[in-house]
Amino acid sequence: MFLMDQQMAKQRSRATGAVRSRLVFEQLNPWVTFSYYVVTIACSMVFLHPIFLLVELLIVVGVNYVARVRKQMVMVLEGSIFMVAFIMVLNPLINNRGAHVIWTFGGTLITVEAIFYGFMMALSLVIVLLTFLSYNKVLTSQKFMYLFSRISPKLTLLTMITLRFVPLFIRRLKNISQAQTVRGINVNRGSSRQRSIGVVKMMEVLLVRSFTDALQTADSMNARGYGSGQRSSYQRYRFKQRDLLCLGWFIPLSGLCFYAASQGIGRMVVYPALGSLGLSLTGWLVLLGVAVLFSFPLILEAWEWLWWNLLKS
C-alpha cells in the first residue's frame, strides 16, 4: 500500500511538472497572444528612440530566454551584429541628410544623423526578428488556423506555408548536405568550380524533393476534400476569465502608448539635426508603459512562479 502511494505521488508530481513546464502565456486564448505580438512589433517600429529600443531589446531577450528558444536567440544575435553594422554603413551612403558632417567620401556626405538613424532602424529590425522566435513557439499552426481560417482560409493557408517554407528548406538542405558528404561531395572543399557544381547539385536535389512533396500534399488535400466547404477547427479555444482580465488592462495601456507616440513622445528627432537623448517625465512614464507591455509574458510567469511556490509551501 505504501509503495502504491509513492507511485501515485510520483505520477502526480510528473503530471504537475509537465503542466508547469509549459509557459503560462501559451495557455492563454490565441487572440490574447496574437494581440501581444501585434502590439510589441508595432511598438518596436513606432517608438524610435535609443532608450526605448534598448529596453525593448533586453525584455525581448528575457522573453525568449523564458520561452526556451535560447539557441535560436544566440544565433539571431550573432547574425545581428553583422546586420547592424551593414545598415549603419549603408544608410549614410544612400542618405545624405543631416547637419553634422563627419566625412566626405567621393562626393557623398557622411553625417552623424544618418549613422544614428541606421543604428535605430537596425535595432528595431533585431527586436522584430527576436520577437518572432517566441511567436513561432507560442502561436502554433493550429492556433493560427483558428484565428484566421474563418476570415480567409486560402490566405491563412498560404501564410502558414510561407512561414514554414524557410525553416523547412534549411532543415532539408542540411540533410542533403550530410548525404552528399557521405557520397564524397563536399561544398567546403576543392576549387571554386567544384564547390559551385556541388552547390548546384544540392539545390537541384532540394528543389526536386520540394516539388515532389508539394504535389503529394496537394493530392492528399484534394482527396480529403479541402476547399469543398467551410473549414472548421477541431480544437476550440474558449475565452476564460483570465483572458478577459489580461485584455482588460493590455488593450487600454496599448491605446495610451500609441496615443503618446502619435503626439511625438518616444520618438527621437534625427533630421535635420540630431535631437537630445533625454526623456521628459511623460517620456519616462510612456517608457514604463511600453516596458510593461513587452513584459506581459514575464509578468505572467513571475506571478505563476510566486503562486506555485506558495502552493508548495
What is the tens place of the pLDDT at every residue in 213-230? 777 877 776 777 766 666
Structural domain boundaries, residue 183: 165-223
Same domain, 135 and 253: yes
Q: Is the residue at 128 inside a domain?
A: yes
pLDDT of residue 107: 67
Cβ–Cβ under 8 Å, residues 261 and 29: no
pLDDT of residue 234: 53
Same domain, 118 and 37: yes
pTM over 0.75: no
Cβ–Cβ under 8 Å, residues 273 and 100: yes
Confidence of residue 12 (pLDDT cuts 50, 70, 90): very low
27 or 295, which is more confident: 295
Show Cβ contacts of residue 76 under 8 Å, excluding neighbours closer than 6 positions: 126, 129, 130, 133
Taking the C-alpha atoms of residue 152 and residue 157, their distance in angstroms, rounded to an integer, is: 9
Show Cβ contacts of residue 97 under 8 Å, excluding neighbours closer than 6 positions: 111, 113, 114, 271, 272
CA-wise closest residue to 180 among 198, 162, 159:
198
Q: What are phi and psi of 231, to 5 degrees?
A: -80, 135
Same domain, 175 and 36: no
pLDDT of residue 309: 76
Same domain, 121 and 42: yes
Show Cβ contacts of residue 20 under 8 Å, excluding neighbours closer than 6 positions: 308
Same domain, 301 and 185: no
Same domain, 178 and 208: yes
Angle at 97 between CA 129 and CA 266, to 5 degrees: 50
Same domain, 134 and 246: yes
Tell me if residue 105 falls in helix, strand or coil: strand
Confidence of residue 6 (pLDDT cuts 50, 70, 90): very low
Same domain, 36 and 119: yes
Same domain, 32 and 105: yes
Beta strands in the chain (DSSP E): 101-105, 108-111
Same domain, 135 and 32: yes
Domain count across the chain: 2
Q: Is the residue at 1 inside a domain?
A: no
Same domain, 32 and 133: yes
Same domain, 173 and 41: no
Taking the C-alpha atoms of residue 26 and residue 29, their distance in angstroms, rounded to an integer, is: 8
Show Cβ contacts of residue 297 under 8 Å, excluding neighbours closer than 6 positions: 23, 24, 25, 36, 63, 66, 67, 134
Cβ–Cβ under 8 Å, residues 266 and 290: yes
